[in-house]
C-alpha cells in the first residue's frame, strides 16, 4: 500500500479548503492563479528526476541555525545500533528545504520552526548559559523533557511543545525516507518480484490468522 490515495486526499483537501475559505468571493474564481506560486515546482515537473535540497528554491537556515537544528534532530533521532543519527543522513538539509518551500503548509511550518529554534537557543542560554548545540546530553534532555508532549507541557512551554511536535514529525519523516531510515524500519519492498506469496507462515502464526487461502 505505498502512496494510498486516501492518505493524500485528506492532506490535499485540507489545503484546498483552507485556501478557499481565506478568499473573498470575487477572487475565488481566480484561485488557480493565486494557488500556483511561481516559485514552486509547478504542475508538470519531471517526476523521474532525483531532486537535491536547495535545487528548486533557495534555502533559509544560517550556519548557526543549522547547528541548532542538527542538535535537535539528533536528540530526537540519535545514532544507535541499527542506524545513524538524523543529522548524519541529511535531515537538516531536508528541514531547510521544507521551510524554504513556497507552499502554504511549508510556510506555516517555517514560522513555527524558525521561532522554535530561536526559543531553544534562548532557553539553553537562560538555563545553562550557552547555545543548545553546546549543551551536554542531560542538559538537552532537561529542556526537551519539558516540551516533548503537548498534553503534559506546562503552560509556559505550550508553544515550544507545539514546535517540538512539528519538529519531531518532520525529523522522523526526513529520516525514515532516507535509505538508512528505510533500512532501520526493515522495509523490504520496492523491488520487483516474480510472484507475490503473501505473508510468511510465522507472520500468520503470530497474528493468529492461519494460512492464507490460495
Partner 1 sequence: MPLVTSAAASGKEYDVIVVGSGAAGGQTAYTLAMEGAKVLMLEAGRNYVPEQETPMFQTRGEAPLRGTSTPDKPFGFHDATVDGGWQVPGEPYVNTSQEESGRFDWWRSRMLGGRTNHWGRYSFRNGPYDFKPRARDGLGFDWPLSYEELAPYYDKVEMLIGVYGANDGLENTPNSPTGCLLPPPKPRVSDLLIAQRARKLGMPVVAGHRAVLTQMLDFKNTPAKLHPGNPEAQRIIAEHMKSRAACFWATPCSRGCSIRATYQSTTVHLPPALATGKLDILVNAMVREVTLGRNGLASGVSYVDKGTGKPSHAAARVVVLAASSCETVRILLNSKSAQFAHGLANSSGKVGRYLMDTVGSTVEGQIPLLESLPPHNEDGASGGHMYAPWWLYKEQLAGKLGFARGYHVEFGGGRSMPGLSTAAGLEWLTGGSYGRRFKEDARRYYGSFVYFDGRGEMIPNEHSWCEIDPDVKDRWGIPVLRFHWRWSEHETRQAAHMQNTFAQLIEAMGGRVKGEVLTDGAKAIAAGGSIIHEVGGALMGTDAKESVTNRWGQTWDVGNLFITDGAVFPSNADKNPTLTIMALAWRAADRILELMRRKEL
By CB under 8 A, tell whether 203 contacts partner 1: yes
Query: How distant, in Å, are the alpha carbons of 13, 29, 33, 96, 115 from that of 111?
Result: 22, 29, 24, 12, 6
Candidates 51, 130, 154, 158: give the one binding partner 1 (CB under 8 A): 51
- SS3 for 49? coil
By CB under 8 A, tell whether 182 contacts partner 1: yes
Candidates 70, 76, 135, 143: give the one binding partner 1 (CB under 8 A): 76
E strand or H helix that includes residue 18: helix 5-21
By CB under 8 A, tell whether 54 contacts partner 1: no
Cβ proximity to partner 1, 6 vs 129, nearer residue? 6
Radius of gyration of the chain (CA): 21
Candidates 64, 115, 122, 150: give the one binding partner 1 (CB under 8 A): 150
By CB under 8 A, tell whether 58 contacts partner 1: no
By CB under 8 A, tell whether 158 contacts partner 1: no
Candidates 59, 78, 110, 159: give the one binding partner 1 (CB under 8 A): 78
Tally DSSP H helices, then E strands, for the chain.
Answer: 10, 0
By CB under 8 A, tell whether 80 contacts partner 1: yes
| Chain centre distance of CA 205 | 35
Amino acid at each position: 500500500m505505498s502512496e494510498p490515495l486516501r492518505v493524500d486526499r485528506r492532506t490535499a483537501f485540507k489545503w484546498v479548503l483552507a485556501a478557499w475559505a481565506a478568499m473573498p468571493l470575487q477572487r475565488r474564481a481566480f484561485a488557480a492563479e493565486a494557488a500556483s506560486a511561481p516559485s514552486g515546482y509547478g504542475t508538470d515537473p519531471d517526476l523521474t528526476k532525483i531532486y537535491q535540497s536547495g535545487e528548486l528554491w533557495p534555502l533559509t537556515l544560517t550556519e548557526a541555525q543549522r547547528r541548532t537544528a542538527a542538535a535537535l534532530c539528533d536528540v530526537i533521532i540519535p545514532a544507535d545500533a541499527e542506524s545513524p543519527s538524523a543529522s548524519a543522513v541529511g535531515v537538516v538539509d531536508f528541514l531547510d528545504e521544507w521551510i524554504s518551500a513556497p507552499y502554504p503548509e511549508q510556510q506555516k511550518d517555517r514560522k513555527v520552526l524558525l521561532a522554535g529554534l530561536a526559543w531553544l537557543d534562548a532557553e539553553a542560554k537562560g538555563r545553562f548559559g550557552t547555545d543548545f548545540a553546546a549543551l551536554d546530553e542531560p542538559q538537552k534532555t532537561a529542556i526537551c523533557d519539558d516540551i516533548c508532549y503537548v498534553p503534559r507541557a506546562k503552560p509556559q512551554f505550550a508553544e515550544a511543545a507545539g514546535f517540538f511536535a512539528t519538529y519531531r514529525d518532520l525529523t522522523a519523516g526526513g529520516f525514515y525516507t532516507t535509505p538508512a531510515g528505510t533500512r532501520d524500519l526493515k522495509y523490504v519492498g520496492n523491488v520487483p518480484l516474480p510472484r507475490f506469496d503473501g505473508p510468511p507462515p510465522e507472520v500468520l502464526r503470530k497474528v493468529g490468522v492461519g494460512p492464507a487461502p490460495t
